[in-house]
Amino acid sequence: MSNDALLQTLRDELGRDAVLTDSDVTGSYSRDMMPLAPVGRPLAVVLPVDVAGVQAVVRACAAAGVPIVPRGAGSGLSGAANAIDGCVMLVLTKLNEIVEVDAGNRLAVVQPGVVNLDFRNAVEKHGLFYPPDPSSYDWCTIGGNLSTNAGGLCCVKYGVTTDSVLGLEVVLADGSILKTGRRTVKGVAGYDLARLFVGSEGTLGVITQATVALRPLPQAPGTLVAGFTSTEAAGAAVAQMVREGLVPSLLEIMDASSIKAAESYLKTDLGAGSDCQALLLAQSDAGGEVARRELAALEQICLDSGSDMTYATDDLAEGNMLLQARRVVLTALEQYGLWLTDDVCVPRTRIAELIAGCQRVSEEVGLRIAVVGHAGDGNMHPTIVYQPDSADEFERAQRAFDAILEIGLSLGGTVTGEHGVGKIKKDWLAKEIGPVGLRVHRQIKAALDPDNLFNPGSMFSLT
């Protein structure tokens, strides 16, 4: 089938308005937020409105031998949703229905185009809570969260996206529909196929619906902030919290560079002091006296580890103001140039070593590197700032990006905690999982997508 014939088939199946070919329009859908990732020119962008439309696109592209790149809102940071030359961009944002909220069984059925924050707000009306909250939760979609196994600030207590998934509906390479998982709390019949597709970045199939577990709406959180004059002391505090089995609903860390950027952007003083090298932010959503005891225990650990400033509050507005400093770091860094954010996860006892390593890299490449991250699970986001009009600085930023991943692996970590592999970390994935792990990945891919039409070139190469 020729490209013209494919486009006509897609228009016949979906309607002319759902098939976009203008180069300016297709270009706007061709990449996500990661500047390092390669990007090609798509043949077309298609926007089906239902599952039958997705099936029609998959079957038409299979008949034509044209690759498909599934895409949500484009908030990703790995290039996983980037176009390759001649592909069809399958945009799922119009599959945006919350199909069901079953409050009695604490679950919901949701389509991939629903925005994370909209979904959270909808289930909150039922007194329920959907935990995954990526930093882009106000515009990223559930489908993208599923495809990259996204996390967020609540991971320390509630886990990443896969920990909330009960089942999936997936369109396979032949256009058939696979239904995985179940609605029950327990169930071990067969392979856990739902977990296979979560985090597969659209390389195995197209997720068109998810059944997810919900939790009771937590209490309004109490908040603790603690400043340290050394990152080692902050790291020691985190390690002690882990040893004592404390599980706050949120535990974040900011280094000196990110603190200064946030204070400048917000035009406020976080009270950390000019000598502060690290700030820990913790929250407890246990409610009432339980939350106060939990925050008191966290505060005592911080003081015992060398914190010279702690402040706790159960005022929700004040807590949100403190947490805003963590949430705005990437935006705040735009005061200094463009940013390139990394995603590396290390054992929680080695967070301070990673931050120190990032400081060394910063000095070596001569660029600002700010480190923020989820201290509760060791997932750090070192962010490199460079000038947009300097090819030299961009090259140095790329070197810094790779150097940080090398440090993460050397500390017993992983090259991605929540952003995914995409098109920028394929070599690093191969290095991390080794030849046998890579062979198994390729065998799974070949079994489910024998013609390599689903997002080819993402995650790993076939040869």
Question: Does residue 233 sit in the same domain as residue 306?
Answer: yes
End position of a domain, from candidates 196, 216, 236: 216
How far apart are the C-alpha atoms of 157 and 10, rounded to whole Å? 44
Taking only the tens place, the pLDDT of each residue in 284-319 is 999 889 999 999 999 999 999 999 999 999 999 999
Residue 423 maps to a domain: no
> Within 13 A of 17's CA, how many CA atoms are on the CB side?
2
> Judging by beta carbons within 10 Å of its beta carbon (0-12, 13-18, 19+), is residue 406 exposed, middle or buried?
middle
Q: Which domain holds residue 200?
A: 98-216
Indicate the residue among 216, 233, 254 that finishes a domain: 216
Per the domain annotation, does 415 fall within a domain? no
- State whether 179 and 267 are in the same domain: no
Please check whether residues 135 and 72 belong to one and the same domain: no
Residue 157 and residue 194 share a domain: yes
159 class by beta-carbon count within 10 Å (0-12 exposed, 13-18 middle, 19+ buried): middle
Are 329 and 198 within one domain?
Answer: no
422 lies in some domain? no
What was the pLDDT predicted at 373?
Answer: 94
pLDDT at 273 over 80: no
| One domain for residues 371 and 440 | no
The alpha helices in 15-88, defined as continuous H runs, are 23-28, 51-64
CATH number, position 162: 3.30.465.10
The CA-atom distances, in angstroms, between 174 and each of 18, 60, 61, 202, 459 are 22, 10, 10, 15, 22
Residue 418 lies in a domain: no
Q: What's this model's pTM, rounded to 2 decimal places?
A: 0.93
Is the residue at 439 inside a domain?
A: yes
Q: Which of 91, 126, 157 is the last residue of a domain?
A: 91
pLDDT digits (tens, 9 = 90+) for 71-127: 999 999 999 999 999 999 999 999 999 999 999 999 999 999 999 999 999 999 999
- Cα angle, residue 382 at apex, residues 380 and 386 outer, rounded to 5°: 165
Contacts of 62 (CB under 8 A, 6+ apart): 173, 174, 175, 451, 453
pLDDT of residue 427: 95
pLDDT at position 430 over 80: yes
* Each residue's pLDDT tens digit, 348-390: 999 999 999 999 999 999 999 999 999 999 999 999 999 989 9
pLDDT at position 259 over 90: yes
Give, in degrees to the nearest 5, the angle at Cα 333 between 327 and 336. 165
- State the pLDDT at residue 154: 84
- Comparing C-alpha atoms, which of 283, 284, 272 is closest to residue 231? 272
Least confident of 140-149, 250-259, 317-326, 400-409: 317-326
**Same domain for 349 and 445?**
no
The pLDDT value given to residue 217: 94
Please give, one letter per residue, the 3-state secondary structure of 232-295.
Answer: HHHHHHHHHHHHCCCCCCEEEEEEHHHHHHHHHHHCCCCCCCCCCCEEEEEEECCCHHHHHHHH
Task: Provide the CATH number for the domain around residue 358.
Answer: 3.40.462.10
Structure confidence at residue 272 as a pLDDT band (50, 70, 90): confident
Q: Mean pLDDT, to the nearest integer, of 393-420? A: 96
Is residue 324 included in any domain, yes or no? Answer: yes
- Structural domain includes residue 420: no
**228 and 166 housed in the same domain:** no
Count of domains observed in the chain: 4
Kindly state the average pLDDT of the residues 261-269.
Answer: 91
Tell me, yes or no, whether 421 lies in a domain: no
Q: pLDDT tens across 18-45, in order?
A: 999 999 999 999 999 898 899 999 999 9
The rounded mean pLDDT for the chain is 95
Q: Indicate if the pLDDT at residue 54 is higher than 90.
A: yes
| pLDDT given for residue 83 in this prediction | 97
| CA gap 71, 157 in Å, rounded | 29
pLDDT in tens, 177-210: 999 999 998 889 999 999 999 999 999 999 999 9
Whether 66 and 157 map to the same domain: the answer is no
Rounded Cα distance, 176 and 95, in Å: 18
Q: Tell me: do 277 and 325 sit in the same domain.
A: yes
Q: Are residues 104 and 60 in the same domain?
A: no
Domain harbouring 23, CATH code: 3.30.43.10
Distances (CA, A) of 149 to 210, 344, 419, 421: 13, 14, 8, 11
Regarding whether 434 and 405 lie in a shared domain, the answer is no
